[in-house]
Structure 1
């Protein structure tokens, strides 16, 4: 394959390789995000995104000693046929902190649960919504310890009465296949992490401890970097070799002085100067009383100023007739 270079820049296919690398990185990031992780300190920031419904298949919410919070977060399923299951892996709130759970898209009306220091993960168990929305309202005071907080697992699922095209838990409800084998118990009974038919290929699909897709992205990016370096080195060597290996006629032309393109003018001026010196030497013969030659011109001074006239580009004074001397000067 011939490479076409446009000046000192990279080859033509370099932008294509960079775009391919970025596309692979984006695809790897999207497909590898099986489960979304949120921290309450970032979810409760006051910006316009906090007012949007977050569509999820599964999420893990973590809280640890957040103080002076009063925020509302709403999650929505991707399908109207789905509902939410909420299950705590950790629940240890301060007595002045409250986590309200609403079965709907707004924190209005009666709440489904009001969790505080009197609740634990064993006493709460799993909470199921009747709609495809769940809203959390988290209120904390200005005091707490590092042990105060919770870890909440939210999973969108389908009941067994609906057709299941994804992964079916032992409890006979369906969850998305991206939530399987992600080290998070979304089914509640652990069947999504113990399925040998699904988790074994995932373990075999790792190379050097990395996911297969991540490994492919690393290999492709390394190959593109090596190709770019090789092309840059080849272009540099070609330019350096072309600079030293010039044809002989170009080298001789480059070594000539600036006025070499006008050789006849320089030769003609040298001949004119020689004729002038010979004429002055002949005129000095027999006239020793008066100074002649170049030294005489220095003693006589610059002489009278030149009158305006025409300028000749070549020749000497001996070529000018007496009638033309008043009109021409060199």
Structure 2
């Protein structure tokens, strides 16, 4: 059986796999717009710590990390954007410091030095002038579980630039559409999370409790598995039928060879040449002469042997 005859061929399977990958990739890219980071994970000593992370929005969590001294840099996707920073929670130990730099490196004069004297109410929303922000977090070896912060970072575009995505109400900043209705207040005035038509449409975009994208992925994956099972069963059935045909033909050929041997290979029967012809000839007026084999004499215990002709004495009548 060929896959093109009655079964789904490789182009169908490749198309389904490609569609699943595209849907998954789109879902991951969409979710990648708003990230959630743990300071404990970001501050691990490996090469990823030195990368510039391009984001549209992110949430940084900190809870009683000890003996940290790390630097993290974020970058906007566009040079026309800058960062807005806002704390949803802030309670640092007096020996811990969070330095905020308006730039791509933790050098020069920092913009803010946050410690135990700062609260989220007194700080409000903070803005950078560049499209970079660098955080330097330094902690000691002591603290409690109440120490830490929750920092919301959002890439915003000023009202003077054209906004093709979502425009906040109060300050009229433009933010990425994927940050809207994600459960995080990116506009600082709550307009991106208000109960407007956009959020209601996002809430209704589910099927059987799943988002539309993931529902399509599940359906296509199920169909793909069923097609693979059907192809496997069809291939096994075809192989089984081919084996039966070959086995039946060999049995028939074996039976046919036995019949020929019984007809031509036994004692007292006519031998057959390899080419299919007989070794007997007709001569002397139709008398049958055997040139080989055992046409006239049966084989003895040691096989057939030809005896030389003996002359008979001639005795004339007296």
TM over 0.5: yes
- Structure 2: distance between partners of 1:249 and 1:224: 38
Aligned to 1:224: 224
> Aligned residue pairs: how many?
280
Aligned to 2:159: 160
Give 1:117 shift: 1.7
- Structure 2: distance between partners of 1:27 and 1:116: 40
- What runs of 5+ residues in structure 2 fail to find an aligned partner? 270-292, 310-318
2:80 is equivalent to residue 81 of structure 1: yes
- Structure 2: distance between partners of 1:321 and 1:22: 91
**Greater Cα shift, 153-162 or 266-275:** 266-275
Give 1:178 shift: 0.9
- What runs of 5+ residues in structure 1 fail to find an aligned partner? 281-293, 295-314, 323-330
Give 1:269 shift: 8.6
Aligned to 1:212: 212
Aligned to 1:136: 135
- Structure 2: distance between partners of 1:189 and 1:261: 99
- Structure 1: distance between partners of 2:86 and 2:260: 95
- Structure 1: distance between partners of 2:92 and 2:258: 94
2:66 is equivalent to residue 67 of structure 1: yes
Query: RMSD over aligned Cα, in angstroms?
Result: 3.2
Give 1:17 shift: 3.1
- Structure 2: distance between partners of 1:217 and 1:240: 35
Aligned to 2:277: none
Aligned to 2:27: 28
- Structure 2: distance between partners of 1:70 and 1:103: 19
**Greater Cα shift, 98-107 or 40-49:** 40-49
- Structure 2: distance between partners of 1:36 and 1:320: 107
Aligned to 2:182: 182
SS of match in other structure, 2:238: helix
- Structure 1: distance between partners of 2:195 and 2:132: 29
1:34 and 1:182 in contact (8 A); partners too: no
- Structure 2: distance between partners of 1:146 and 1:270: 109
The structure carrying a bigger helix percent of its residues is 1
Aligned to 2:173: 173
- Structure 2: distance between partners of 1:320 and 1:122: 130
Give 1:113 shift: 0.9
1:83 and 1:128 in contact (8 A); partners too: yes
